[in-house]
Amino acid sequence: VVTKRELQRLKPELERILGSGNVLWDEKKLKEYSRDMADFRGDPVAVVRPGSTEELSRLVRLANRERIPIVPWGAGSSLTGAAISHAGVVVEMSRFDRIIEVDTVNWFVHVQAGVILDRLNRELEKSGFFFPPDPASSFICTVGGVLSEGAGGLRCVRYGTVKDWVLALKVVLPNGDVAIFGEPLPKNRAGYDLVHLFVGSEGTLGIIVEAWLKIQPIPYRRITRMMTHFHSWKPAVQAITRLRSERVQAALLEFMDGNTVKAVNRDFGTSFPVHPATLLIDLEEELVQKSLAIIRSCGAAEVVVAKNEEEAEAMYQARAWSYIAVRSEATGSRAEDVCVPITKLADYLTFVEKVSKRRRLKIVVHGHAGDGNVHPLILFDKNDRESVKRADAAFEDICEYAIRVGGTITGEHGIGSQKVRLLRKQLIAHGGAQPLKIMKAIKRMLDKRGIMNPGKYVEAA
Amino acid sequence: VVTKRELQRLKPELERILGSGNVLWDEKKLKEYSRDMADFRGDPVAVVRPGSTEELSRLVRLANRERIPIVPWGAGSSLTGAAISHAGVVVEMSRFDRIIEVDTVNWFVHVQAGVILDRLNRELEKSGFFFPPDPASSFICTVGGVLSEGAGGLRCVRYGTVKDWVLALKVVLPNGDVAIFGEPLPKNRAGYDLVHLFVGSEGTLGIIVEAWLKIQPIPYRRITRMMTHFHSWKPAVQAITRLRSERVQAALLEFMDGNTVKAVNRDFGTSFPVHPATLLIDLEEELVQKSLAIIRSCGAAEVVVAKNEEEAEAMYQARAWSYIAVRSEATGSRAEDVCVPITKLADYLTFVEKVSKRRRLKIVVHGHAGDGNVHPLILFDKNDRESVKRADAAFEDICEYAIRVGGTITGEHGIGSQKVRLLRKQLIAHGGAQPLKIMKAIKRMLDKRGIMNPGKYVEAA
């Protein structure tokens, strides 16, 4: 930790490095950077805004010398407290805002960490390319945040998550040194793979300043989008299982329960049919008939195929905005992020129902069913301590269940400060004593003075 | 190093762990395991054949206690000396031969390290799935070897290399402990990504005993295969560049020079047209017309579209057996494995021509042009020391060139003992001082006594 007083002493040096306008500590600014999207809270002492790798490198060197905790900040759209600073300095990355190069022959984009994901995709679209991973926060989240979280999204059922799309990273290490890991090449076997060590490291091993990301031609094939509705989630899950075992690779395979659709209809003025379970599915033309036959044989109550772009887009938006719509129903919410084997999806949803009853909480469910990564959203009254306690207990119930059935406590949101104890439990239960030990040793080795996003994630587990 | 005498002392203990039939050191056996596919040579003291993870764990513990160097051996199909033991024990993995589970709902296969890749794919085919990476040695190479090398192959232009297909690994660590890294799930963000640290670690961090690999439905779409011939490699490279910039994602995009086609025709009795440059291309139906127009506008001399499965298969085999055919032309050969940006492919091939002239050596070129990973094969007389020296110099010329233009010295064959100095040079030139330092620190941390495949790769760089 660092105190305001200690930082006062370093202010001249900080301002020399960053310029006086980029070292901020007025109360309003600090408040703005003191909470993330899921309302995890901290108490940063200052917010700094480096304008170049050189400046950031000098800043980190100073922080290392003075043992000042630093936490990189993209958009604060973390759902796990990963971007929250406790008595440290928030390193705001928005000035790293350049799309350096779109290479349409080698199929990569070279981009700075502060670029917002949707802006990147708008730029790529001009050349007919896209970057597939699409977290729901893509309208605000940054490339650096997405990489540090190893984020996922709706298109991942077909394209994989962020880790599958990174060729190389430029990183400012905890000692202030600058390193490039990987090569902007489709194939590279020179040395151990350190790129993937940094993807999903949640700002605990260094600060990502630039990335070389794979890009993909926008598919030229017409995709059919449909919403298929079921009387309960059991036949819906059966449909998912059958589609997979019959080798249907969907381009999108999302789940919404009735409460989700209701909330979306209410907040966005839409009128999607409300059934206990709805699947949103994208399919290539050739797979549509086969898939419809499977879906109907599983007892679908209603199937609506989008008739045009506009209808298709509305269906997508319904799912994309589910989290925002449902969240607004209560003063507090916790988003689960467990991922279970698809063969356990039915049991998992049964268990969530039980938890909802036992803990007397409304739990609304939607998410990436085709990946087994369905997000129950636990709603509670944040002003009622007893309700908060039950929500926390429900959250842990569901994570513990995931660990028991061979799932993971996090598919795409990460650990942050939220799931530290559960991380330890999962790693030891599934992998033995060594994986966590090795992770901790790597953290200590790279960040000897423990300044990078300390007290969270692997270090705290 | 360990001497035969020291090992003699440990023989009773070794035989207690492995059974007497699985501790071998007769001269014939040792010779069999003393050279790899590219004729790198070593002098192992014993070959042991563990039959289970438990046995291997006890063996490694013993090796660690006694500081005996151990080198895992899949099929010895390494081209870089990676599987070669110098005064140590070869750990032959062929008894790890079980395909444990093919999961057609969760789309993974759980498999032991000694399973041969082609056997795995024959098994997967029964359920309509496949494992995409396809190194040319797939008829002998093992899952463990493929993972340790982070191998590539012909299909990688579309599907990526091995690292894109691994969900989880069971590893015997250098201290004998058993760990599982990752989860057999499509999404998992629990902890740092150690899976990818082990993929491509060339047996220097531990021995992979089991893997959970992603599998993919066999494509249902008809693929058109063609051979397109050019008067020189310049228009051929232009065609590749144009196809890429016009967003054609080929399913196969391979290069062969005239000498390669000649060698194949001679060795396999085929009669493919011989031109200075030939591309083998697989395309989805919808891309064929557009691609043919591009290829013709680049000045193709001849285009042969496969009329049926049989013709298509023959074309594929021509490329798959190129290495074997060309290699047989000389007593010695070195396979280059550099990967360059596709935008540098033309300059790269010009440079290879220059090297061939300057070093007075025949260099035959074929490989994965769509990835920029073309393999020049340097031919020499292994009984003529001066010729060997020139071949080594030519090999280094080409690697140094790759480093200069932002390429990598290895796209898919790895480092082994062959490219240690070049690895150091590339990492420092492209990434700064830190990446290699971090790699070495990780090696020391995991393998404190330096027993795992010592004296090679990162450790030696």
Pairing mode, strands A46-48 and A89-92: parallel
Q: What residues of A are in contact with residue B106 (Cβ under 8 Å)?
A: 244, 341-343, 372
**Could you report how far apart the first and last alpha carbons of chain B are, in Å?**
19
Instruction: Please compute the mean of the pLDDT values over residues B182-194 and round it to a whole number.
Output: 98
Dihedral sign (CA A430, A182, B319, B218): positive
**In angstroms, rounded to a whole number, what is the distance separating the alpha carbons of residues A121 and A367?**
22
User: Closest Cα of chain B to A161: distance in Å?
Assistant: 7
Torsion of CA B204, B90, B149, A181, to 10 degrees: 10
What's the average model confidence in pLDDT over A119-124?
A: 98
- Distance in Å, alpha carbon of B310 to nearest chain A alpha carbon: 25
pLDDT band at B310, cuts 50/70/90?
A: very high
CA-nearest residue to A459 within chain B is B191
* pLDDT in the model for residue A2: 86
Kindly identify which residue of chain B lies nearest to residue A373, measuring between CA atoms: B187
HEC per residue, chain B: CCCHHHHHHHHHHHHHHHCHHHEECCHHHHHHCCECCCCCECECCEEECCCCHHHHHHHHHHHHHHCCCEEEECCCCCCCCCCCCECCEEEECCCCCCEEEEECCCCEEEEECCCEHHHHHHHHHCCCEECCCCCCCCCCCEHHHHHHHCCCCCCHHHHCCHHHHEEEEEEECCCCCEEEEECCCCCCCCCCCCHHHHCCCCCCCCEEEEEEEECEECCCCCEEEEEEEECCHHHHHHHHHHHHHCCCCCCEEEEEEHHHHHHHHHHHCCCCCCCCEEEEEEEEHHHHHHHHHHHHHCCCCEEEECCCHHHHHHHHHHHHCHHHHHHCCCCEEEECCCECCHHHHHHHHHHHHHHHHHCCCCEEEEEEHHHCEEEEEEEECCCCHHHHHHHHHHHHHHHHHHHHCCCECCCCCCCCCCCHHHHHHHHHHHHCCHHHHHHHHHHHHHCCCCCECCCCHHHHC
Q: How far apart are CA B309 and CA A330, in angstroms?
A: 61
CA-to-CA distance for A444 and A436, rounded, in angstroms? 12
The residue-averaged pLDDT of B44-72 equals 97
Condensed to tens digits (0 to 9), the pLDDT of residues B200-258 reads 999 999 999 999 999 999 998 899 999 999 999 899 999 999 999 999 999 999 999 99
pLDDT band at A46 (very low <50, low <70, confident <90, very high): very high
d(CA B199, CA A339): 23
Which candidate from B149, B187, B411 shows the least CB-CB separation from A156? Answer: B187
**Secondary structure of B1-48 in the HEC alphabet?**
CCCHHHHHHHHHHHHHHHCHHHEECCHHHHHHCCECCCCCECECCEEE
- pLDDT bucket at A344, cuts 50 / 70 / 90: very high
Rounded to a whole number of angstroms, the distance from the CA of B377 to the nearest CA of chain A is 19
Residue A235 C-alpha, separation from nearest chain B C-alpha, in angstroms:
16
Average pLDDT along chain B: 97
Beta strands B46-48 and B89-92: pairing type? parallel
Cβ pair A201:B194 closer than 8 A: no
For chain A, give the longest Cα–Cα distance: 71
Q: Which of A108-112, A127-131, A251-255, B35-39 has the lowest mean pLDDT?
A: B35-39
Mean predicted confidence (pLDDT) in B282-286: 95
Residue A238: what pLDDT?
A: 97
State the DSSP code for A409: S
CA B41 to each of CA A425, B34, B36: distance values in angstroms, whole numbers, following the listed order: 45, 6, 7
* Res A377: pLDDT: 97
Q: Do A183 and B434 touch (CB under 8 A)?
A: no
pLDDT of B416: 98
Return the number of CB contacts < 8 Å for A and B.
268
In this model, does residue B289 exceed pLDDT 90?
A: yes
pLDDT tier at B101, thresholds 50, 70, 90: very high
At residue B429, what are phi and psi to the nearest 5 degrees?
-65, -40
**Which pLDDT score, from 0 to 100, does residue A439 have?**
98
CA distance B286 to B314: 23
Structure tokens at A352: 């969530």
Kindly state the average pLDDT of the residues A14-21. Answer: 96
- pLDDT, mean of residues B255-263: 97
pLDDT higher than 90, residue B2: no
- What is the arithmetic mean of pLDDT over A163-190? 98
What gap in Å lies between CA A164 and CA B189, rounded to an integer? 13
N-term to C-term CA, chain A: 19
Q: Which two tokens stand for residue B233?
A: 């490699």
User: Do A286 and B221 lie within an 8 Å CB cutoff?
Assistant: yes
How close does chain A come to B266, measured CA to CA in Å? 31
Question: Which residues, at least 6 apart from A310, have a Cβ–Cβ distance to it below 8 Å?
Answer: none
Question: Is the pLDDT assigned to residue B112 strictly greater than 90?
Answer: yes
In the predicted structure, residue A413 carries a pLDDT above the cut 90: yes
| Cα distance between residue A148 and residue B236, in whole Å | 40
Q: Which residues of B touch A146 (CB under 8 A)?
A: none
In the predicted structure, residue A14 carries a pLDDT above the cut 90 = yes
Give the model confidence (pLDDT) of A360-399 as tens digits.
999 999 999 999 999 999 999 999 999 999 999 999 999 9
Nearest CA in chain B to A431: B180
What is the residue-wise DSSP string for A182-199? Answer: E-SSS---SSS--HHHHT
CB contact under 8 A, A244 and B129: no
- Examine the pLDDT at B341 and tell me if it is beyond 90: yes
- Residue A194 has phi, psi (to 5 degrees) of -95, -15
Contacts of A316 (CB under 8 A, 6+ apart): A154, A225, A252, A280
Residue A40 has pLDDT above 90, yes or no: yes
Percent pLDDT > 90 in chain B is: 98
Asked if pLDDT for residue A1 goes beyond 90, the answer is no
Report, as an integer, the average pLDDT of A112-120: 98
CB atoms A427 and B244 under 8 Å: no
Nearest CB to B458; choose among A192, A406, A442:
A192
